[in-house]
Chains A and B, each alone.
Chain A
Amino acid sequence: MHAEYRKDLFADERSDDFDVVGKPVIRQDILGHVTGRSKFYDDHAFDGLLHMRCVRSPHHRARIRSVDSSAAERQDGVVRVLGGRDVPVNTNTLLSLINFGRDDEPLLATGKVGYVGQPILAIVATSVRAAQEAVDAVKVDYEELPHVLDVEEALKPEAPIVNDEYPNNTFDYFDTYDHQKLRFGDVETAFSRADHVVEGEYQMSPIEQAPIETCGAIAAPETSDRITVHTSTQALFFSVGVTAKQLDISSARLHFIGGTVGGGFGGKVDSHHEPLAALACLATGKPVKYMWDRAEEMQVGGPRGGERWRIKDGVMRDGRIIARAFTGFFDAGAYTRLSSYAVQKSTGHLPGPYSIPNVASNVYCVFTNRTPSTAMRGFGITAVDFAIERHMDKVARVVGMDPIELRILNAYRDGDMKAHRREAKNCALIESCQAVAHKAGWRLSADAARASSKTGGGEGASGVIPETVTDDEGRIGERRRSGLAPEPFSGQGTRGLLPEGHSSNNSSAFGNAPQREDMEAEIERLGFKGGPGAPPTPRGPVDEAASGARPTVPGETSRPAGAGGGPTLPAAYAQRPAGTVDQSIAQPPAQEPAAAEVESDSATTHFQRGVRRPGVSRFISGSRRR
């Protein structure tokens, strides 16, 4: 099919010197692939290569009473049997490397298993066959326990505990809530004045990335006391970091070679093969390969997680959507991996590419006894986009409107304020809709055909952050005790109010206050901090109030000059009219720092706060970071 490119849509946004799109391009690695010369990790041959297979749980959830590997150890060809106690740092969470979440997943399970296929022992032998026969000879005595496979079942008070680190079956956000909140405007009031309220529920299934090359790694000893690891990972430095942490060795002893990934699509970031292969290499002094077979890739490999979304829209007769509330459930499976992050990514995407003045969402990272899910191609975005666009069609039917015109009516225009408090830029949904309608011979009304992303944006209320109702519902553990419904504003929790404000761009210090102090962008953590000689003042974005790029809000002070290197209390907090906000909501007393304390803290306060938490890896220490 002939492709057509509408460069005119972005003529003002960038120089038009790109010359790649629309032409055949020789991929830099394709010659090696088609001639069979690219070396994948499994193409590296070693004398005396040992092979690893794992003993895996046949149950969704069970206590391990005992493991008897004595018969396996006596079998021909078996070199070593490794269990959880052989792993120096057995428990890890992928995002510990960026200090997000708590270590919750064992490399090799001890004591209990939380999903079918979870590895318990790793057996190293002279052939795959010998390793598999040894695996079959291991006797594990399980006490099967009740399990939960549905995200909403897992939230119920009586649900079994999936992950001991998160006993409420939900990831903890900001050490405070069992979900990620988004609050923008006042959805409750808007729903009460809407002509129609349209609700829908959308369920997406897990998807396996199904790479041609199954995940794996070969670890081989070097004479320099280092270990060379050939791996299929799509996140080489991630895998180095995880391996160094779990083996408790310096990453300087690890020589990772990757780069040829036989199909990744997100399924090769979990970094389970590299630590196990390297551990076996250390334990035996021999090169060891750990490779999944196809069945393992399908059953044990982390898929895109299943997601359930409920959307409730308040719609006026003319098709204008005035409120949208989301309740989202990400099925993380038994352990966190990257699902905690997927939730935040999806929240940043809400409410889709539409200018909706009142938005609220509660999104949950839920633990169930399923295979832990992980990254896959736009995870966190694709499923909710599907839900949003299906819901747009549903809204169009309810108000009796053309679905394309409904989208054009509600689409973001340049300058509109998005629910995550950034200004919409480079919008092109309207133009895309018009182009599609034209190509498909779909008749649009004159108004819709005339609409433009460049006009009408940011006018009046659509350019500002509305006065926003907040709540403190869904604190960690509350849902399990009380059976609280998951939807936003579904309980009797205390409400707060954040005043109207303007775009915050990189820091809310320029505009409205964040809901909580730790949602403040920490400018000093963005990008390169500079050497010891660097000026103490953070290199934040240009002070927009001072530069005049944005009008100063009457009554709002500009960013205090000469703030000594640390984040300052946003002006809006200081100026909040007494009595309108319950301080205990916006900032729980236990964690509320005094204003003076924040002012006097050094730029590294927030950074160190995380690192000093007990149980957090020393591998993300400040010295390592520098």
Chain B
Amino acid sequence: MLEVQTYPTIGEAAGAMDDQARFLGGGTLIMNRVNYGDPRFNRIVRTTDASLAEIRVEGERLEVGAGVTMAAILASRDLDFLAPAARAVGGPAIRNMASVGGNLMAPHPYGDLAVALLALDAVVRMASGEELGLEDFLARRNGVVRSLLVRRPRGDEFRFRKVSRVKPKGVSVMSMAAHLTRSAGRLSGVRVAYGAMASTPVRVRAVESALEGVSLDHAGIAAALSAATEGLDPPDDPIASGWYRREVAPVHLRRLLLGEDAR
């Protein structure tokens, strides 16, 4: 049988977790497993902790509660840079429920918001208060998340793009995000992340290093495009084959980097 446990604070909820429990955020991932009688867990743990839904300014960084929904991001002036990624998640009904914390846990090919957060070098604050980089978090993907810490990018240096066959609600063929920081007119310290190109959202270091010190134009990004899928083995799934993902990745990367309109 399935039990639902509700705790007043995120800390207590985190303490109640084990491998037979699932933490309920917005429920968009868990509830369809419940509806289908998934026997891999027998407890649902949730919290009424109101701080999870808060968006706070913390010095240079914004702290986004793990329970903040996609719809709340779209409604937030402080998080306008995340709006394109939040809007790429599901339809309105899903966005009303789906949470930031859940998006970090979403299995392939979901998790478009996490791709944006990864490119923005977000830091994950766990229920225990421990902080770790999003990349490290995605590598093990366990524990209960309290919030995310993210810096607002400047000007137009942040780009996000989701490629799907069905618009506007399609599942990702791939999603891409780039934080194009510059130094003296040339790219420097760029971060590029892909979604649906590996089992979790990943940074693409080959592309990042190929963009170091180049100018943001056709000639400058040529090396990055030829390294678009270096070190990646994109998965086959019902949305697209790994072969297809590899073939089209350079095209979408070019459109992302140069801000080209692709209909």
**Complex alpha-carbon distance, A579 and B54, angstroms:** 95
Pairwise interchain contact A130-B1, C-beta atoms closer than 8 A: yes
Q: Are A136 and B1 in contact (CB under 8 A)?
A: no
Q: Which of A51, A129, A136, A293 has the most CB of B within 10 A?
A: A129
A348 in contact (CB, < 8 A): no
- What is the CA–CA distance of A129 and B43 in the complex, to the nearest angstrom? 12
Residues on B with C-beta less than 8 A from A53 are 37
Report B135 CB to chain A, min CB distance, Å. Answer: 31
**Across the interface, do B1 and A128 meet the contact criterion of CB distance under 8 Å?**
no
Q: Give me the interface of A with B, judged by CB distance under 8 Å.
A: 51, 53, 76-77, 127-133, 136, 293-294
A-B contact count (CB 8 A): 29
Does B2 sit within 8 A of A, measured CB to CB? yes
**A136 touching B39, Cβ below 8 Å:** yes
Q: How far is the CA of A294 from the CA of B36 in the complex (A)?
A: 9
Residues of A within 8 A of B36 (CB): 128, 132, 293-294
Report the bound CA distance from A543 to B38 in whole Å: 66
**Interface pair A132/B39, CB less than 8 Å apart:** yes
Which 8 pairs of residues, A with B, have the shortest CB-CB distance? A128-B37, A132-B37, A129-B37, A293-B36, A133-B39, A129-B2, A132-B39, A136-B39
> How many of chain B's residues have a CB under 8 angstroms from any CB in A?
8
Complex CA distance for A76 and B35, rounded to whole angstroms = 18
Closest CB-CB distance, B194 to chain A, in whole Å?
A: 26
B1 adjacent to A76 (CB under 8 Å): yes
Residue of B nearest to A133 (CB): B39
Q: How far is A51 from B37 in the complex, measured between Cα atoms in Å? A: 11
CB distance from A123 to the nearest CB of B (A): 11
Q: Using Cβ atoms and an 8 Å threshold, which residues of chain A touch B1?
A: 76-77, 127, 129-130
What are 16 A-to-B residue pairs whose CB atoms are below 8 Å? A76-B1, A77-B1, A127-B1, A128-B35, A128-B36, A129-B1, A129-B2, A129-B34, A129-B39, A130-B1, A130-B37, A132-B36, A133-B37, A136-B39, A293-B35, A294-B36
- B24-38 CB mask vs A (1 if < 8 Å, else 0) is 000000000011111
Interface string of B1-40 (1 = CB under 8 A from A): 1100000000000000000000000000000001111110
Which of chain B's residues have a CB closer than 8 A to the CB of A132?
36-39
A487 to B67, CA, bound (A): 65
**Chain B residues within an 8 Å CB radius of A129:** 1-2, 34, 37-39
CA distance A68 to B220 in the complex (A): 68
State the CA gap A53–B1 with chains docked (Å).
16
* Shortest distance from the beta carbon of A581 to any chain B beta carbon, whole Å: 55
- Point out the residues of chain A lying under 8 angstroms from B38, CB to CB: 129, 132
How far apart sit A294 and B32, CA to CA, in the bound complex (Å)?
10
Shortest C-beta distance, B94 to chain A (Å), equals: 14
A213 to chain B, nearest CB (A): 13
With CB as the reference atom, state the residue of chain B lying closest to A298.
B238
B248 CB → nearest A CB, Å: 22
Q: How far is the CB of A212 from chain B (nearest CB, A)?
A: 12
- Determine the distance from Cα of A127 to Cα of B38 in the docked complex, in whole angstroms: 12
Shortest distance in angstroms between A501's beta carbon and chain B's nearest beta carbon? 52
Q: Which residues of B contact A128 (CB under 8 A)?
A: 35-37
A356 vs B213: C-alpha distance when bound (angstroms): 67
Contact partners of B37 in chain A: CB under 8 A: 51, 53, 127-133
A293 to B33, CA, bound (A): 10
**CA–CA, A131 to B35, complex, Å?**
12
For the complex formed, measure the closest distance between the CB of B4 and the CB atoms of chain A, giving whole angstroms. Answer: 13
Q: How far is the CB of B175 from chain A (nearest CB, A)?
A: 23
- State in angstroms the CA–CA spacing of A129 and B35 once bound together: 8
Q: Report the minimal beta-carbon distance from B107 to chain A, rounded to whole angstroms.
A: 14
Cα-based distance from A608 to B2 in the complex (angstroms): 57
Q: Which residue of B lies closest to A132 (CB)?
A: B37
Q: Which residue of B lies closest to A131 (CB)?
A: B37
A614 to chain B, nearest CB (A): 42
Which A residue's beta carbon lies closest to that of B42? Answer: A129
Beta-carbon nearest neighbor of B238 in chain A:
A298
In the complex, residue of chain B having the shortest beta-carbon distance to the beta carbon of A126: B1
Residue of B nearest to A125 (CB): B37
- Which of B1, B2, B34, B36: most chain A CB closer than 10 A? B36
Assembled-state Cα–Cα distance A19/B1 (Å): 58
User: In the complex the two chains form, what is the Cα distance from A127 to B37 in whole Å?
Assistant: 8
List 11 other contacts, CB 8 Å, given A53-B37, A77-B1, A129-B1.
A127-B1, A127-B2, A127-B37, A129-B2, A129-B34, A129-B37, A129-B39, A132-B39, A133-B37, A293-B35, A293-B36
B239 to chain A, nearest CB (A): 13
CB neighbors of A among B31-72 (8 A): 34-39
Tell which of B1, B34, B37, B38 has the most Cβ of chain A within 10 Å. Answer: B37
Chain B's nearest CB lies how many Å from the CB of A387? 24
Question: Least Cβ distance of A596 to chain B in Å?
Answer: 63
Within the complex, the shortest CB–CB distance from B25 to chain A, in Å, comes to 21
User: Hey, which chain B residues are within 8 Å of A133, CB to CB?
Assistant: 37, 39
* Residues of chain B within 8 A of A127, CB atoms compared: 1-2, 37
Give, as a whole number of angstroms, the nearest-CB distance from B20 to chain A.
13
Q: Which residues of B contact A136 (CB under 8 A)?
A: 39
Distance between B215 CB and nearest chain A CB, rounded to angstroms: 40
